């Protein structure tokens, strides 16, 4: 079942996210960061155990980031990640957010959910706050993907993102 995270989920979220960070697939997150952002997280729970997690972090008035998507390794390929991202997308819609992006290595997964690849340089500078602490900065090899929730085409989104940077 997909549900909003509770404080009691923080340790499981921390473990899941950092298992991906150890392989260079996520930025590591401290347990205090998880607690501070617990309201951003959704979890997939089964039998009282957290199997996956994903967060929706608001960046700007009409822009949010899907981040910290992690599914337990032995449960990948079962649609859990899709359900978590869909929960984040629905929350973004409910909040009136027009664009949702992610920085990812799972381009095909996100494209399967309707996201389009965009150049990272069009994302607002505020997005890069976490990046300066990354070992891969400034040579990031993640791919930026974006989903329009307000009917704009991918080129229109890129144009609007570039305007936001000004």
Give 75-98 pLDDT, tens digit per residue. Answer: 999 999 999 999 999 999 999 999
CB within 8 Å of 21: residues ≥ 6 apart: 27, 28, 29
> Rounded to an integer, what is the distance from CA 107 to the centroid of its chain?
12
Tokens coding 123: 């994302």
Strand residues in 37-160 grouped as ranges (E):
41-46, 49-60, 63-71, 99-104, 116-118, 143-148
Q: How confident is the model at residue 101 (pLDDT cuts 50, 70, 90)?
A: very high
- Please check the confidence at residue 162 and state whether its pLDDT lies above 70: no
- Please check the confidence at residue 1 and state whether its pLDDT lies above 60: yes
> Rounded to an integer, what is the distance from CA 162 to the centroid of its chain?
21
pLDDT of residue 109: 95
Percent of the chain scored above 70 by pLDDT? 80
Number of domains into which the chain is organized: 1
Please write the tens of the pLDDT for every residue from 124-142: 655 555 555 555 555 567 8
Please write the tens of the pLDDT for every residue from 40-70: 999 999 999 999 999 999 998 889 999 999 9
Range of the domain at 100: 2-165
Q: Rounded to whole angstroms, how far apart are CA atoms 101 and 144?
A: 7
* Domain CATH code at residue 78: 3.40.630.30
pLDDT of residue 69: 96
pLDDT of residue 156: 62
- Please check the confidence at residue 157 and state whether its pLDDT lies above 90: no
Mean pLDDT of 100-128: 84
């Amino acid at each position: 079942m997909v549900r909003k995270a509770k404080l009691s989920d923080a340790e499981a979220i921390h473990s899941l996210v950092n298992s991906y960070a150890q392989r260079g697939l996520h930025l590591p997150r401290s347990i205090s960061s998880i607690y501070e952002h617990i309201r951003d997280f959704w979890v997939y729970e089964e039998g009282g155990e957290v199997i996956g997690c994903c967060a929706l972090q608001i960046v700007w008035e009409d822009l949010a980031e899907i981040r910290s998507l992690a599914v337990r390794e032995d449960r990948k390929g079962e649609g859990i990640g899709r359900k978590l991202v869909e929960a984040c997308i629905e929350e973004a819609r409910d909040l009136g957010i027009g664009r949702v992006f992610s920085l990812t290595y799972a381009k095909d997964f996100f494209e399967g959910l309707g996201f389009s690849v965009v150049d990272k340089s069009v994302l607002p500078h505020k997005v890069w706050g976490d990046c300066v602490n990354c070992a891969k900065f400034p040579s990031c090899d993640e791919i930026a993907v974006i989903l329009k929730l307000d009917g704009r085409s991918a080129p229109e989104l890129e144009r609007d993102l570039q305007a936001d940077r000004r």
